[in-house]
Amino acid sequence: MTAFPVTLRSEWTKLASLRGTWIKVALALVLAVGMSALIAIVIGATWNDASAADRAAFDPARDALFGGIFSAIVFVVLGATAATSEYTSGMIRLTLTATPRRGRVLAAKAAVVAAITLAAGLLANATMFLVAQAIFGSYGLQTASLTDGDALRIVVADGLLAPVLALIALALGFALRSTAGAVTSVLGLIFLPGIFGTLLPAWWQDNVLDYLPGAAAEAITSGHLEGATATMAPALALVVLAGWLTVFLGGALAALQTRDA
C-alpha cells in the first residue's frame, strides 16, 4: 500500500473511532430534519393568514431545506475539532512523527472530513426534502418532487456543498489551533455579511460580499431559478468556492509546515 492510503486509513480510524464524531453526525441529521419539519408545519398552519407576498415567495423545494443551516453549523464544529482535538490531546506530535510530510496529513484529514460530511449532507437533504413535502401535502399546499429538475438540483447541490464549511473549519483549526476560534471565524464568515453587509459601501457589497463563500454557494444551488438574487453564474460561483478552499487549506498547510507541533 502506498504512503497516502496508509495515512488516509489512519486518519479515518482516528476520526471514526471517536464517539463524538458520530454524535455530531447524528445531531446534524436530527437538527436538520427537525427544524425543516417545524418550519414546514409553521408554513402550513399559517398559510390561510399569510400575505400575498409570502404565498408568492413560497418554494416547496427551497423551503424544505431550511434545517440545512443547523447541520452546517454542526459540520463546522466537526471539521474544527478534527484538527484541534489532536493539539488538545498532544496526538499531533505522534501524527507528524509517523508522517513527516505534513501536507499528506492535511490532505488525508480533509478527505476524511469531506467524505463524512458529504454523506451526511446528502442524507440530511434528501430526508428534509421528503419530510417537508409530506407536511406541505398534508396541509394541501403545493409540493415538489425529486423528479423535478430544479428540486433535484437544489437537494443534490446543497448536499454536495456540505463539506465546504467543514473543510474551511478544518483549515482554520490547524491555523488557529483553537476550536472556539475556528468555529467563531467560520460562523462569522456565514452570518456577519448578512447582518452588517448593508452598512458597508456599495463597492464592498458588489465586489467583496458577493464573492464570499455563502454567496457563491447560494449561486450554485439556486442562482438559475427564476427570481433568484445570485450575483454570479453557477460556474463562476464554483470557481470562487474552489478558490476559497484553496486559500484556507493553503494557509493551513503553511501553518503546519512553519510551526512546531
* Residue extents of the structural domains in the chain: 3-187
Mean pLDDT for the stretch of residues 55-64:
92
Percent of the chain with pLDDT over 70: 95
Greatest Cα pair distance in the chain: 64
Higher pLDDT, 123 or 152: 123
pLDDT-derived band of residue 223, with 50, 70 and 90 as boundaries? low
pLDDT-derived band of residue 261, with 50, 70 and 90 as boundaries? low
User: Rounded to 10 degrees, what is the CA torsion of 188, 110, 94, 89?
Assistant: 30
- Using a 10 angstrom Cβ sphere, with 0-12 exposed, 13-18 middle and 19 or more buried, the burial of residue 58 is middle
Residue 209's contacts (CB-CB under 8 Å, 6 or more residues apart) are: 193, 197, 200, 215
Written as nine digits, the cell of 148 is: 423535478
Q: What is the pLDDT of residues 103-146, one digit of tens each?
A: 999 999 999 999 999 999 999 999 999 999 999 999 999 999 98
Q: What is the pLDDT of residues 73-85, one digit of tens each?
A: 999 999 999 999 9
Distances (CA, A) of 146 to 40, 61, 72, 126: 17, 9, 22, 9
pLDDT-derived band of residue 190, with 50, 70 and 90 as boundaries? confident
pLDDT-derived band of residue 225, with 50, 70 and 90 as boundaries? low
Q: What is the average pLDDT score of the chain? A: 89
Q: pTM to 2 decimals?
A: 0.90
Task: Please give the pLDDT value at position 203.
Answer: 72
Task: Please give the pLDDT value at position 97.
Answer: 85
Residue 245 has pLDDT above 90, yes or no: yes
Task: Please give the pLDDT value at position 230.
Answer: 57
